[in-house]
Amino acid sequence: RKEVEQDPGPFNVPEGATVAFNCTYSNSASQSFFWYRQDCRKEPKLLMSVYSSGNEDGRFTAQLNRASQYISLLIRDSKLSDSATYLCAVNPTPGTYKYIFGTGTRLKVLA
Amino acid sequence: NAGVTQTPKFRVLKTGQSMTLLCAQDMNHEYMYWYRQDPGMGLRLIHYSVGEGTTAKGEVPDGYNVSRLKKQNFLLGLESAAPSQTSVYFCASSYEGGAGGELFFGEGSRLTVL
């Protein structure tokens, strides 16, 4: 089993829709969870951190479910500009300072 | 603001040739990382460094070597390139390590090995 797994998609949704992605991790000791956004042929950029209490930034909400070992990203009122690949990142082993990424979930928002 | 700069941005190699990718950051970050990204595989960690003079193996270290002689630079070397090393390579740096620091990425280096 991979340390971090994501559904690659693509998720095709109409403008204005709500869409959610999950990212599962295998090591229950994992700490530090993040969502990154990557546009085509560009570098990844941090979208938001995922805290134990959840995190909301405008139309974006990230949550952590430690019992089921996954993090989620919810996008409300999707915009055309939200079309991108969304990567989750996890530090699977505390103290090792390394981040493992999922394969990414591709989102296409359609007009 | 330069941030993280990778050179070269594009390179074509023949099998067996060697080359070095340079990553430079001007943010005084302690932690630096090299990832490769292939279609359907996501970002995979090759090597990383938690400070000047230190390096550690990531998920896919075989065929690569790294050095961090200066805090601002992290070099990735391919001693004998193979077609399987055709990929996009991303360097990243972070102020904090596993505690929760944001990774800042360079623009990527596209390497083709023929």
Chain A closest-CA separation from residue B38 CA (Å):
9
pLDDT tens for residues A49-82? 998 888 999 999 999 999 999 999 999 999 999 9
What's the mean pLDDT in A11-29? Answer: 95
The pLDDT value given to residue B1: 64
Could you tell me how far CA B56 lies from the centroid of its own chain? 12
pLDDT tens for residues A94-103? 777 788 999 9
CB–CB contact A100 B102 (8 Å): no
Residues of B in Cβ contact (< 8 Å) with A36: 103
Half-sphere exposure of B105 (CA within 13 A, CB side): 23
Considering only CB atoms, B98 lies closest to which of A43, A95, A104, namely: A95
**Residue with token string 């230190």:** B54
- CA closest to B90 among chain A residues: A43
What's the mean pLDDT in A1-23? Answer: 93
- Amino acid of residue A38: Q
pLDDT at B99 over 70: no
CA torsion through residues B104, B56, B35, A51, sign: negative
β-bridge partners, A23: A6, A71
The pLDDT value given to residue A96: 74
How far is CA A9 from each of CA A12, A93, B40, rounded to the nearest angstrom? 8, 27, 11
The pLDDT value given to residue B102: 85
A41 vs B97, higher pLDDT? A41
